[in-house]
Amino acid sequence: MLETTLCGITLKNPVIAASGTFGFGAEYSQFFDVGRLGGICSKGLTLHPREGNPGLRVWETPAGMMNSVGLQNPGIPVFLERELPRMRTLGTAIIANVGGDDLEDYVEGVQLLSNAEGIDIIELNISCPNVREGGMAFGIKCDAAASVVAAVRPVCAKPLMVKLSPNAEDIVAMAIACERAGADAVSLVNSFKALAIDIHTRKPVFDNVTAGLSGPCIKPIALRMVWEVASAVHIPVVGIGGIATWQDALEFIMAGATAVQVGSATFVKPTVMLDIVDGLERYCADEHLTSIATVCSILGTETPLP
Partner 1 sequence: MTNLSPAYIEGATVLSQERLTEDVYRLTVATTTGGAPGQFYMVRAWEREPLLARPLSVHSVDEDTVSFLYQVRGRGTELLARLDEGGKVALTGPLGHGFHTEELCGRIAIVTGGIGIAPMFCLARTLPAGDVTVIAGFKSTPYAVAQFVDLGVDVRVATEDGCDGTRGFCTAIFDPHIYDMVVTCGPMSMMARVAHLCAEAGVPCQASLEAHMACGVGACLVCSCATVLGNQRVCADGPVFDAAEVVWHA
Ligand X SMILES: Cc1cc2nc3c(=O)[nH]c(=O)nc-3n(C[C@H](O)[C@H](O)[C@H](O)COP(=O)(O)O)c2cc1C
- What positions carry a catalytic annotation? 128
- Choose between 9 and 296: whose C-beta lies nearer to a second copy: 296
C-alpha–C-alpha distance, residues 25 and 142, integer Å: 32
CB 179 within 8 A of CB 160: no
CB 174 within 8 A of CB 183: no
The DSSP bridge partners found for residue 198 are 203
141 residue type, one letter: K
Pairing of strands 9-11, 4-6: antiparallel
C-alpha–C-alpha distance, residues 36 and 225, integer Å: 28
Q: Does 266 bind partner 1 (CB under 8 A)?
A: yes
Q: Does 147 bind partner 1 (CB under 8 A)?
A: no
Q: Does 213 bind a second copy (CB under 8 A)?
A: yes
Q: Does 193 bind ligand X (CB under 6 A)?
A: no
Name the minimum Å distance from CB 306 to ligand X: 21
The site map against partner 1 for 53-72 (x = CB under 8 A) is: -x-xxxxx-xxxx-x-x--x
Instruction: Confirm or deny that 263 is annotated as ligand binding.
Output: yes
Instruction: Confirm or deny that 135 is annotated as ligand binding.
Output: no
- Choose between 185 and 192: whose C-beta lies nearer to partner 1: 192
Helices and strands: H and E segment counts in the chain: 11, 16
Each residue of 193-230: b (16+ CB within 10 Å) or e?
bbebeeeeeeebbbebebbbbbbbbbbeebbebbbbbb
Positions touching a second copy (CB under 8 A) are 54, 61-64, 66, 132, 169-170, 192-197, 199, 202-204, 207-210, 213, 215-221, 223-224, 227, 242, 247, 250-251, 254-255, 295, 298-299, 303-306
Give the residues lining the site for partner 1 (CB under 8 A).
20-23, 27-28, 30-31, 43, 51-52, 54, 56-60, 62-65, 67, 69, 72, 215-216, 264, 266-271
For ligand X, the binding residues (CB under 6 A) are 18-21, 43-44, 67, 69, 71, 97, 125, 128, 163, 190-191, 214-215, 218, 240-243, 262-265
